[in-house]
Chains A and B, each alone.
Chain A
Amino acid sequence: MNRRTFLTFSAGATAGLMITPIPWKLTDDASIWTQNWQWNPKVPKRAIYFAEMASKLDPSGSGVKVAVVNGNAVGVAGNVDHPLGKGAVSTMAAAEVGLLHSPARVRQPMLKTATGFKAISWDEAETILTGKLSEARGEVAMVSGDDTGSANEIFAALVNGLDGSFYMMPGETQSAHKALEMMGGEGRIAYDIENADYVLFLGADALESSGTSTRNARVFSETHPTGKAASAKYVYAGPVMNNTAVVCDQWIQAKPGAAATVALGLSRILMDNGAVANAKGFASFKQNVAQGYAPAHVERETGVRADVLKKIARELAAAKRPLVIAGSEFGQGAGARALMASLGLNVLLGQMGQSVKIIPGAPAVVQGAGSESERYAADVIPFLKGVAEGRDGAKVLMVYDANPAYGLPQTQAMAKAMDKAAYTVSFSSFMDETAERANLIMPNSMTAERYDDLYTPHGAGTATYSVNKPLVKSAFDTRTTADVMLSVASRLGMDLGYASFKDVLQAKATRLGASWSSLRQGKAWTSASASSAQLNLAPCAAPAVRAIGEGTLALAPVVKHNIGTSKVAMPPHSAGSIRDTELSGVQTVVQMNAKTARMSGVKAGETVKLMGPGGEMTAQVYVSEKVMTGVVAAPLGFGHTAWDGFSKGVGENAFKLLAAADDPETGLSVWSTNRVTIATA
């Protein structure tokens, strides 16, 4: 080929090229290529699948739908079919997705060494735990904060098999078990709030943090339609206009921890007006109430005016389906007294079996786990105090789904117990205050990553049961603690009867008579069955425990789930919802009314020191008439020394102020009536 031939050939090829797609397509594609750099991450193009799940982070157990794309959770939506969610998404349920990739998550098993934590394998972690447990037989203790899960059965069976002690974290569920036990009942207390036409909340922050608050809030919303007349009256009695009181039809100012006394005062008025109950122990109840709960006395003790008390009693008596729900203002520390007194009042109102029911507890399916009541019998507060003070020994202390080093009274002593125990194991998903102190961390998978179940939280309307299955790929090298403990039991030569936690859940479904395939799809099982056993009213008028501490002001801790719970720190997504009346910069804000501030010699915006029986904290003062006179309100949820950048070092932990006292009548520690002193810092 000579030059001319080549040029002719090229001319032909060029002419041909013009009628091929090459120049036009390449130009087009090159422009698209520059808009879609191949190395940029792409949004996964998979099915958006809404899987049903019951939130384990939300103490009210609300069911939600998790939007899943290609094994990744991308959002949370309400589930109108779930009896505890009713279509709402609570802050904590929303956090189920947001916290999956939290920087605070423990990413693999960690072993504490002289220089800090080091990552180890699961096999190593299980070998270490097995060794420690076999050496510590007789001095093993485990604390669980999971009030609704069957995992407790595995833990209790394992600990019992090692002659150890099993404890549940204190809270409303433990209070309810103790109250029912003292009154001769067994099971769980259920409130039929859906059908109540008059609801009185005594202390219980039931639309925000107490019981099945997500469901309660939905029912409140249904009974209070916008622009129309309310179909039920809601009244809140407590020291602070909290998230429950602020929407209720009436807020009655009552001192912290006054629920039982107010309930007994109402009972007294009703009985004076002729109310009777065909119940065991009624005579004794009536006599004790008549002796100690005259309206004037109740007014002195609780701050609830006698005329207001009489008016509420009249309204309760006139209502068709009244309902009284009592508890601690911050969900713990009230002991059993408030619940017993409110059950007595509900009986007098003729609502036992109507607005209030006793429903069966979860049936045990793991051999050696004992009954639910047995697992709730022991009080963890004196045990941890004993460990901190060296009185009680714990060669191995295991903590599941709880953060006792942060979320209990006398926080420093509780944290010290973690340090004093010979070997502490945390199963926390997050690097919380307890995990930070542990010798070994074996991180639990989060709700959307694991098999788990949820049986009837305290205050639900009926027995409910939900099963969760792994919906998303595990974000990190975590495992389901229940499965880990089954494996450890097997290594110890113990046969708990199940190879996997999933098998336990299947057995539970069978015992309940629920459809496994339906549960597995996220559908909740419910049962209308209720106990017809009569409760003994005699213990309902148990004497009040004296206020704890010598301060001039009553302390009202306030829980808002957007600031976190006693287990989980503030979810990052709610950081923007924190108000400057709760946190100023990184300083906790406490609230009191103008009269209290004047009496205490402090001014709005001033930094003060609060001194309680459990410890001290500094805070800024905000003057608000949403707090009753003589009370200082302190938000719980701040002051973390662990977790992530959103929570660590932000504010101070009000749990530090609290101290617990023994209640000899019930055997449970109480800390809902603490007093504090305030001074300019």
Chain B
Amino acid sequence: MVKKASSSGGALPFFVGFVAMLFVGWWVFPQALFSKAEQPIRFSHVIHVDDGGMSCEDCHYFNDDGSFSGIPNTESCAECHSDVMGEDPAEEQFVNEYVNEEKEVEWLVYQDQPDNVFFSHAAHQDKDCTTCHPNMSENDTPPTHYKNVLTGYSNGGYKIVFGRGVGVDPAYSRGTMKMWECERCHAENGQSNACYVCHR
């Protein structure tokens, strides 16, 4: 019996398909799934912390009612930057375009939580900020903001789809938290994971 010669090239198409899909899955897919954006102003935490001698709490503080101030508004920044202080073009841009125009900067937030979650900074203030946030005090140029176009979730400063932090500095991997992350930390710290704790 004559064995019919294969015209499929053996395992090659399988291998090509396999590799092609790996390329699509690991390179093309993330490009399509995540939009990239840069901060409107190059804000340097390093300059403010090292040169300015400021602490995190100078700008990110708790209000009298326990609410967290979040990112300072232009007016707060203008307490120092009412005029251009240095020679950094980013500062000049900030003063001209935002302080003088009395406009708010549309800062891109790396750790926005979804609206269906109630998150209280006051309840978590015994934790170090870097437990959840990148250590911004070492940040001179803000990382690119990657946003999942399907969910609207931020992926922190890191574009790899899953296994956040794999292969890069974990400090830049912290984006919108998933529920399992909240739950795990709550469980590890003996806190309730009842639905109403976060979904109010």
Interface size, chain A (Cβ < 8 Å): 44
B-chain residues with CB within 8 Å of residue A42 when the two chains form the complex: 115
Task: Give Cα A625–Cα B24 distance, bound, in whole angstroms.
Answer: 84
Task: Give Cα A6–Cα B8 distance, bound, in whole angstroms.
Answer: 8
Q: How far is the CB of B82 from chain A (nearest CB, A)?
A: 9
Asked whether, in the complex, the Cβ of B161 is within 8 Å of the Cβ of A10, the reply is: no
A-chain residues with CB within 8 Å of residue B72 when the two chains form the complex: 47
Asked whether, in the complex, the Cβ of B18 is within 8 Å of the Cβ of A12, the reply is: yes
Task: Give Cα A32–Cα B152 distance, bound, in whole angstroms.
Answer: 9
B-chain residues with CB within 8 Å of residue A291 when the two chains form the complex: none
Q: How far is the CB of B55 from chain A (nearest CB, A)?
A: 17
Choose, from B63-71, B86-94, B123-131, B132-140, the stretch at the interface: B63-71
B-chain residues with CB within 8 Å of residue A13 when the two chains form the complex: 17-18, 20-21
B-chain residues with CB within 8 Å of residue A8 when the two chains form the complex: 8-9, 11, 13-14, 17
**B56 in the interface, Cβ–Cβ < 8 Å?**
no
Asked whether, in the complex, the Cβ of A20 is within 8 Å of the Cβ of B22, the reply is: yes
Q: How far is the CB of B117 from chain A (nearest CB, A)?
A: 10
Asked whether, in the complex, the Cβ of B104 is within 8 Å of the Cβ of A4, the reply is: no
Asked whether, in the complex, the Cβ of A17 is within 8 Å of the Cβ of B21, the reply is: yes
Q: How far is the CB of B69 from chain A (nearest CB, A)?
A: 5
**B144 in the interface, Cβ–Cβ < 8 Å?**
no
**A116 in the interface, Cβ–Cβ < 8 Å?**
no
**A222 in the interface, Cβ–Cβ < 8 Å?**
no
**B198 in the interface, Cβ–Cβ < 8 Å?**
no
Other-chain contact of B70, A12, A35, A36, A48 (Cβ < 8 Å):
A48
Mark interface residues in A15-59 (1 if CB within 8 Å of B CB, else 0): 111011110111001101101101010110111111000000000
Task: Give Cα A38–Cα B35 distance, bound, in whole angstroms.
Answer: 15
Asked whether, in the complex, the Cβ of A12 is within 8 Å of the Cβ of B14, the reply is: yes
Asked whether, in the complex, the Cβ of A36 is within 8 Å of the Cβ of B25, the reply is: no
Other-chain contact of A33, B75, B109, B112, B151 (Cβ < 8 Å):
B151
CB-nearest residue of chain A relative to B25? A20
Of B29, B109, B151, most buried by chain A (CB within 10 Å of CB) is: B151
Q: A16-B21, A16-B25 are in contact. Are A9 and B64 (CB under 8 A)?
A: no
| Dominant secondary structure at the B interface | loop
Task: Give Cα A24–Cα B73 distance, bound, in whole angstroms.
Answer: 39
Mark interface residues in B167-197 (1 if CB within 8 Å of A CB, else 0): 0000000000000000000000000000000
Asked whether, in the complex, the Cβ of B16 is within 8 Å of the Cβ of A12, the reply is: yes
Task: Give Cα A15–Cα B18 distance, bound, in whole angstroms.
Answer: 6
Q: Which 4 A-B pairs have the closest CB atoms?
A: A20-B25, A12-B17, A16-B21, A12-B14
A-chain residues with CB within 8 Å of residue B7 when the two chains form the complex: 2, 4-5
Task: Give Cα A36–Cα B114 distance, bound, in whole angstroms.
Answer: 8
Other-chain contact of A20, B29, B64, B112 (Cβ < 8 Å):
B29
**A71 in the interface, Cβ–Cβ < 8 Å?**
yes
CB-nearest residue of chain A relative to B59? A47
CB-nearest residue of chain A relative to B113? A45
**B120 in the interface, Cβ–Cβ < 8 Å?**
no
Q: List 28 A-B contacts (CB under 8 A).
A: A1-B13, A9-B16, A12-B21, A13-B20, A14-B17, A14-B21, A15-B18, A16-B18, A19-B25, A20-B24, A20-B26, A20-B29, A21-B26, A21-B162, A24-B162, A25-B33, A29-B150, A29-B151, A30-B150, A32-B114, A33-B150, A33-B151, A36-B116, A47-B70, A47-B72, A47-B73, A49-B76, A77-B64
8 A Cβ contacts from A45-93 to B: 45-50, 65, 67-68, 70-71, 77
8 A Cβ contacts from B156-170 to A: 161-162
Task: Give Cα A92–Cα B17 distance, bound, in whole angstroms.
Answer: 71
Q: A16-B18, A29-B150, A47-B71 are in contact. Are A22 and B104 (CB under 8 A)?
A: no
**B31 in the interface, Cβ–Cβ < 8 Å?**
no
Asked whether, in the complex, the Cβ of B104 is within 8 Å of the Cβ of A77, the reply is: no
B-chain residues with CB within 8 Å of residue A2 when the two chains form the complex: 7-8
Of A6, A9, A25, A68, most buried by chain B (CB within 10 Å of CB) is: A9
**B153 in the interface, Cβ–Cβ < 8 Å?**
yes
**B19 in the interface, Cβ–Cβ < 8 Å?**
yes
Task: Give Cα A16–Cα B25 distance, bound, in whole angstroms.
Answer: 8
**B148 in the interface, Cβ–Cβ < 8 Å?**
yes
Q: A21-B29, A49-B69 are in contact. Are A12 and B13 (CB under 8 A)?
A: yes
Task: Give Cα A624–Cα B102 distance, bound, in whole angstroms.
Answer: 56
Asked whether, in the complex, the Cβ of B73 is within 8 Å of the Cβ of A46, the reply is: yes
Asked whether, in the complex, the Cβ of B21 is within 8 Å of the Cβ of A25, the reply is: no
Q: A11-B14, A38-B152 are in contact. Are A46 and B104 (CB under 8 A)?
A: yes
Q: Which residue numbers of B lie inside 8 Å of A, CB to CB?
A: 6-9, 11, 13-22, 24-26, 29-30, 33, 63-65, 67-73, 75-76, 104, 109, 112, 114-116, 148, 150-153, 161-162
A-chain residues with CB within 8 Å of residue B70 when the two chains form the complex: 45-48
Task: Give Cα A115–Cα B109 distance, bound, in whole angstroms.
Answer: 51
Q: A20-B24, A22-B29, A48-B70 are in contact. Are A5 and B104 (CB under 8 A)?
A: no
Asked whether, in the complex, the Cβ of B21 is within 8 Å of the Cβ of A77, the reply is: no
Given contacts A12-B17, A47-B73, A65-B64, 6 further A-B contacts (CB under 8 A): A16-B19, A21-B26, A29-B148, A36-B116, A47-B70, A77-B63
CB-nearest residue of chain B relative to A32? B151
B-chain residues with CB within 8 Å of residue A9 when the two chains form the complex: 13-14, 16-17
A-chain residues with CB within 8 Å of residue B63 when the two chains form the complex: 48, 50, 67, 77
Q: How far is the CB of A275 from chain B (nearest CB, A)?
A: 47
Q: How far is the CB of A24 from chain B (nearest CB, A)?
A: 7
Task: Give Cα A42–Cα B152 distance, bound, in whole angstroms.
Answer: 11
8 A Cβ contacts from A394-436 to B: none
B-chain residues with CB within 8 Å of residue A40 when the two chains form the complex: 115
Task: Give Cα A8–Cα B9 distance, bound, in whole angstroms.
Answer: 9
B-chain residues with CB within 8 Å of residue A26 when the two chains form the complex: 150
Asked whether, in the complex, the Cβ of A47 is within 8 Å of the Cβ of B14, the reply is: no
A-chain residues with CB within 8 Å of residue B14 when the two chains form the complex: 8-9, 11-12, 15
Task: Give Cα A42–Cα B112 distance, bound, in whole angstroms.
Answer: 11
Task: Give Cα A38–Cα B115 distance, bound, in whole angstroms.
Answer: 12
A-chain residues with CB within 8 Å of residue B18 when the two chains form the complex: 12-13, 15-16
Task: Give Cα A459–Cα B59 distance, bound, in whole angstroms.
Answer: 38
Q: How far is the CB of A278 from chain B (nearest CB, A)?
A: 48
Of A25, A65, A70, A77, most buried by chain B (CB within 10 Å of CB) is: A25
Q: How far is the CB of B135 from chain A (nearest CB, A)?
A: 21
Asked whether, in the complex, the Cβ of A50 is within 8 Å of the Cβ of B64, the reply is: yes
Asked whether, in the complex, the Cβ of A21 is within 8 Å of the Cβ of B161, the reply is: yes
Q: How far is the CB of B80 from chain A (nearest CB, A)?
A: 13
Task: Give Cα A607–Cα B17 distance, bound, in whole angstroms.
Answer: 89
Task: Give Cα A26–Cα B162 distance, bound, in whole angstroms.
Answer: 11
B-chain residues with CB within 8 Å of residue A65 when the two chains form the complex: 64
